Amino acid sequence: MTPALTWNTTRFALDLQRPQVMGIVNLTPDSFSDGGRRAEPNAALHHCEQLLREGAHILDLGAESTRPGATPLSARDELERLLPVLREALKLGVAISIDTYKAEVMQAALDLGADIVNDIWALRQPGAQQVVLRHGACGVCLMHMHREPQSMQLEPMAGDAVAQVGRFLQARAQALELAGVQRARLALDPGIGFGKTVAHNLQLLARQRELLKLGYPLLLGWSRKSTLGALTGLDVEQRIGPSVAAALLAVQRGASIVRVHDVQATVAALKILEALDAAATIEGEGIHS
């Protein structure tokens, strides 16, 4: 089944005929990549504006770190970090995604007008699915995660990652559709790095097209991940090049949305890929004309 060409969200029907770049806005003091630097609301909002100038189509606001071993945050603390930034970000004229797994946080964000719920638990936490069902319009990204953030890298998954991830995502998407969520609201994320080894992550990239058979748009988040560090020997803030390369490879293998820290570099690289694809199409038309 061919994935949908649009992703329906609260305020926007996002055009997936071109790759959508989701800019990461960390509101946490302990994110693995840039924790603390933009936790203050004004700094976070300036970062949102910068990402839009660089070409982001979606902004993904996250107020709780989900890096391996991260300490869980209360809903109250998460909302205190999130809501001041969300209120202003909703005025920027682009889709706003909320990276959370808590029903209380989802409800508050959606009540303000947030467009997308991006959930590492795939709506398996208490009350989360009910919030999405009650809302009736928001986009939803369902992610695969092995175990939970505190232990996922202590005992990574074993076996065929593509098959296991595919079965899980298909089951979650079908459950939501049966509950009444329209297919056009759903996107799937294989969860690069979430309880997976380097070999598993590479397997998911190499065989990513197999996940397209599920019939939903794919969202990929390779940006600055530890697998890229393991492959290149580069520290987190040196991984711009590998992150852009991974994003391009994901798009070439059918990803509709890429979630990235380095928006400007990713957007520029995607322009090259788009131009190359256009040139190949023109050449093909010439050959067959």
- Give pLDDT tens digits for 236-254: 999 999 999 999 999 999 9
Q: How large is the average pLDDT for residues 142-151? A: 88
pLDDT at position 287 over 50: no
* Tokens matching residue 58: 């979606």
**What pLDDT is attached to residue 181?**
97
Give the residue extent of every domain in the chain.
Answer: 6-288
**What pLDDT is attached to residue 138?**
98
At 29, is the pLDDT very low, low, confident or very high (cuts 50, 70, 90)? confident
As annotated, the active-site residues are 225, 259
Q: How large is the average pLDDT for residues 221-227? A: 97
Q: Which of 141, 137, 97, 109 is nearest to 122 (CA)?
A: 141
pLDDT at position 219 over 90: yes
Q: Is 121 in contact with 128 (CB distance < 8 Å)?
A: yes
**What pLDDT is attached to residue 289?**
37
**pLDDT tens profile 72-130:** 899 999 999 999 999 999 999 999 999 999 999 999 999 999 999 999 999 999 999 99
Amino acid at 208: Q
| This model's pTM is above 0.75 | yes
CATH 3.30.930.10 for the 6-288 domain, yes or no: no
